[in-house]
Structure 1
Amino acid sequence: MADLPTVTDAEMQTSLQYAQPYSVVILRTGPNYDSPEASAIIWEHGRRNFALRAAGALAVVLPVIDDTDVCGVGVFDRDVETTTTLMDDDPGVAAGVFTFTVHPARGFPGDALPPEAL
């Protein structure tokens, strides 16, 4: 990408000044990921993610579609403690289908996924 725009130190410092806190969840396969009940539990996990998104708690949901043990990444508009509580109540986590870690993160003004294509 040779034609990247120039970003000044002042622009970077301004963005850093306005960075907002988020929590990032890394979702991984759990001990019951291959159980006979896992498919139905994963469906309910997805339904809950849609509800968390609609409630404004889960800003970005990114299912991972490769062959690793990482199942997804979520960006929560909540602190680490609240996000951990939300994840502990997830049906997939409660059933041992998933495990997770939560990490504090920052987002910068203007960050967003590209507009959706319909």
Structure 2
Amino acid sequence: MKITALCLSTATIHLLSSVPGAAQTFTQSQRNAMNHVSQVLAAATACPEYKPNLVLLALIGVQYKFSIEDPKVNAIIVAKAKEHKAGIEAAGKTIGCLAAWALYGPGGQNVPDLLSRN
């Protein structure tokens, strides 16, 4: 999966694009949700044993009213995902991937079930 392209899947993009266009500014809740999306995408990229739950990622966009097709949303998610991926790599793949799993795997502390094993 390439973060720069954010090729989640056609189904996910269609689900996210059904949300009205994002406003020029985002609430803190929207930014937090985008940050979770970016962390999961970074983990799925840095840790090939994990895959993102595309349905739940799409539902986050619907719940928080942002579309990944919105250029501002896309730019935020891509930039944050690059930062998170660098953090995972800096921590070391084993520790970084285990931390992501603890946050987003089944029973995750942040948002459970956003990551699963391949």
Could you tell me the TM-score, scaled by structure 2's length? Answer: 0.32
Q: Which has the larger radius of gyration?
A: 1
Looking at secondary structure, tell me which structure has more strand per residue: 1
Query: Under a length normalisation based on structure 1, what TM-score does the superposition of the two structures give?
Result: 0.32
More relative contact order, 1 or 2 (CA 8 Å, 6+ apart) = 1
